[in-house]
Chain A
């Protein structure tokens, strides 16, 4: 149940994924009046399916893990507010945060934990055929392809985990990988290899075209398969990574790094006084983006905010 919140806070997180929720736990313990905002509760973790690499849990559904963090934060007094923040303005010690309904809140410190957005292939027909055979969420939609033939574009952990999940349903899975290697956790890759011929990896291959009339029908590949570049499929899942959501950061003239992520120091401080950042929107550990790193960064950001406020 959403807590009834007044409008003034010591610490506001813009983002309600692992970074935002972990920050709220620590901020609560520091007795900072805290709110966490986000229109997609739990971020990508909520839709990630089973999480088996968060210490303390042998296996936990991502959504359930986020619910537990939420409960812990709420027990410590944080308000978890299911709204998107559309702007952040103001000065250190007196920031004004506006939600999608125009309601304003004030905060002495802000943490930006806006996460990432999934990448698209950027091909014609891709948008038109989304949800008509083209998908971006294997955990959501793979079960719809029972006894069908699908392809997953990507060679990272999300793609391989997607293949492992899809194998319970699909009769054949093609993994379309741009490079010559799989970049998933070895344990996930090992699980996929056990599926044998059910999963066929197409290395050094790209999707050139997505085709279909009323619904998705096939892809055209950069390398032929069985002498043809055409691969007819029932479904196509695109798991090629994400880019950081930095609109709010950019509106505040927060410095981004050369890859477009928010730049912080080791204490999660941005170049703007009183504004911190954490989670997948920063690139502190490169491509290693996990719940554990997001949670750690959230905790550090909350601590930095607390230390900052003590000095004011």
Chain B
């Protein structure tokens, strides 16, 4: 299973949806709060080219927003 990192903010509802999705499918995720982790924030902006959350890094692929279909594809999850 590729490494999964999710860039979030504390009040982001779509981030919660994503977390619930990962929990249901037993996917381990590292969360980085970009309101306090400025290095993670800079990295997210540089790599994704935008300033919206969630951004979910699966291996070295950046998924913008909670794109369930793309995430399922990357993580081999049967929907």
Task: Give the interface of A toward B (CB within 8 A).
Answer: 1-2, 39-42, 46-49, 61-63, 67, 82-83, 100-101, 130-133, 135, 137, 139-144, 146, 165, 169, 215, 235
Contact = CB atoms under 8 A, between A and B. Distances in A.
A139 B8 CA distance: 11
Nearest to A99: B79
Contacts of B10: 143
Interface residues of B, number: 25
Contact of B41 (A42, A47, A83, A144): A144
6 contacts: A46-B17, A132-B49, A137-B13, A137-B52, A143-B11, A143-B35
A2 B68 contact: no
Given A41-B20, A49-B13, A137-B13, A131 B34 contact: no
Given A140-B14, A141-B12, 8 more contacts: A40-B17, A46-B14, A47-B14, A63-B17, A137-B52, A140-B9, A169-B35, A215-B51
Nearest to B13: A47
Interface of A (DSSP majority class): loop
A238 to B, nearest CB: 13
A39 B70 CA distance: 13
Contacts of A48: 13
B15 interface: yes
Given A41-B20, A132-B51, A144-B35, A137 B14 contact: yes
From B11, B16, B52, name the one whose CB has the most chain A CB atoms within 10 angstroms.
Answer: B11
Contacts of A165: 11
Given A132-B49, A169-B35, A139 B13 contact: yes
A41 B35 CA distance: 25
Contacts of A143: 9-12, 35
B24 A63 contact: no
